[in-house]
Amino acid sequence: MSEQKALLLETVNGPFVVSTVPILKPGPDQLSIKVVAAALNPVDWKVQAWDILIKEYPAILGSDIAGDVEEVGEGVAGFSKGDKVFCQGYFVSEMGGFQQHALIPADIVGKIPPNVDYAQASTIPLGFNTAAIGLLRAQPEGAGLNPTFDPNVNFSGQPALVVGGSTSVGQFAIQLFKLLGYSTVIAYASARHADYLKSLGATHVIDRGEVPVGSLAEAAKKIANAPIKIAYNAVGDNDSRAACIDAIVEGGQVADVSPEAKDPGNGKRVISIIGTSHHPPHREFGRILWKTLPRLVQEGTIVPNRVEKIPNGLAGIDEGLQKLKANKVSGVKLVAFPQETA
C-alpha cells in the first residue's frame, strides 16, 4: 500500500506530529484528492486545546483543501483525474486537509476556476460555507435569506451588520450581503482593513479601535437608513453577540459562529451556525452551494481571502496554529502546502 505524510494530533490535547500513514482508496461517491494547499482555521487549535468534534485519535485535522483529483470513486460523475478542485475537509481523518491525500464526497467538491490559484482557493471553503449556511440556508439552521442561491433575490434598501468583518468568515458574509443586494453593509473591524473590506462590499466600516463593542449597536443604528433585520457575528463572543442583538430590530436575526449562541428570548432570533456542508442536515444545501460557488468565484463575485503562505509543508502548521490562537493573524488566511513536507 502506498504511503503519505500526514500531520497527526496523536492524543487528546497532545502534540501535532508529522507521520507516515497509508494512502486510502476512494470509496463509492468519493474523490481521492492530492492536497496541494490546506488553509488553517481557529477550529484546528480549538480541537487540540479543547478536545471537541473529534471521536477517534490519532486524528488528522484541516477543514480547507485545494488540490488535484487523483482517483475517482465508483458512481462519481463530472470529475476526472487531474481536475483542480477545492472543498471542505471534515473531522474524520480520511477527510482532513493536513495530509497529502484526502478522500472527500464528490457532491460537495467544486472545480477551481482559472482565475484563482490553489492557495487562494483553499481560503474559501470553510469561511464561505459558514457565512452561507448562516445567512442563506433555510430556517431554523440559517437565516433563510436565499436557500437556493436564486439570483433574483434582492434586499435592496435594507441594512446589514457584520461584526468581525476582517475575519475570514466575516469577509465572506460581507460579500454575500453585497450579492444579496443589501444597500448598507456595516462592518466592525480594525481601521487598517477598511479599504479592503469596502472593496469586498462593506459600505461603512466602524473602527473597533475607536468604538468599543458596547457602543457598536448605537453606532450601527445611526449609520443604517432603516431598521437592521440581520446581523452576522463572526467573532462569536458574548459581547459581540450582545451588540448584534441590540443592533437588530424585534423579529430580526443574528447568525453567530459560536456553538454557545442561543436565542435571547426577546423576539429576536440567534442562529448558532454549524458551518460545514458535510453536516448531514446541511447536505442538500451544500450540494447547491458547491454547484454555485465555482461560478461566483470565476466571475469575481466571491473573492478569496488574502493568503499568507506557511513554509515547511505540514511541519509548519503547528506554528501557524499558535499564531492564530494568540490572535496574531489579522485579515489574512494562513495556507500550508502538504506536498512540500520534507
> Which positions touch ligand NAP (CB under 6 A)?
41-43, 126-127, 130, 164, 166-169, 188-190, 193, 208, 234-236, 240, 257, 273-275, 324, 329-331
Least distance CB 152 / ligand NAP (angstroms): 28
Q: How far apart are CA 289 and CA 277, in angstroms?
A: 8
Within 136-225, residue ranges assigned H as helices are 168-179, 194-200, 213-223
Contact 216, 222 (CB under 8 A): no
Dihedral over Cα of 303, 335, 330, 214: its sign: positive
Within 224-282, residue ranges assigned H as helices are 238-247
Least distance CB 237 / ligand NAP (angstroms): 7
Nearer to ligand NAP, 183 or 190 (CB): 190
Nearest 5°: phi and psi at 120? -60, -45
Nearer to ligand NAP, 131 or 228 (CB): 131
Least distance CB 273 / ligand NAP (angstroms): 4
Least distance CB 250 / ligand NAP (angstroms): 25
Least distance CB 102 / ligand NAP (angstroms): 19
**How far apart, in Å, are the Cα atoms of 294 and each of 78, 116, 163, 331, 340?**
14, 10, 26, 23, 26
Least distance CB 140 / ligand NAP (angstroms): 15
Q: Which amino acid is at 329?
A: V
Number of Cβ within a 10 Å radius of residue 115: 12
Q: Which residue has the cell 488566511?
A: 333
Q: Which residue is nearest to ligand NAP (CB)?
A: 275
Q: Does residue 58 have a cis bond before it (omega within 30 degrees)?
A: yes
Q: How many CA atoms lie within 13 A of 55 on its CB side?
A: 3
Nearer to ligand NAP, 73 or 170 (CB): 170
Nearer to ligand NAP, 64 or 107 (CB): 64
- With residue 322 as reference, give the H or E element that holds it: helix 317-325
Nearer to ligand NAP, 110 or 236 (CB): 236
Percent of residues in the chain assigned helix, strand, coil, to nearest 5: 30, 25, 40
Least distance CB 264 / ligand NAP (angstroms): 18
Nearer to ligand NAP, 179 or 243 (CB): 243
Nearer to ligand NAP, 7 or 274 (CB): 274
Torsion, Cα of 268, 43, 307, 331 (10° steps): 40
Least distance CB 240 / ligand NAP (angstroms): 6
Nearer to ligand NAP, 147 or 164 (CB): 164
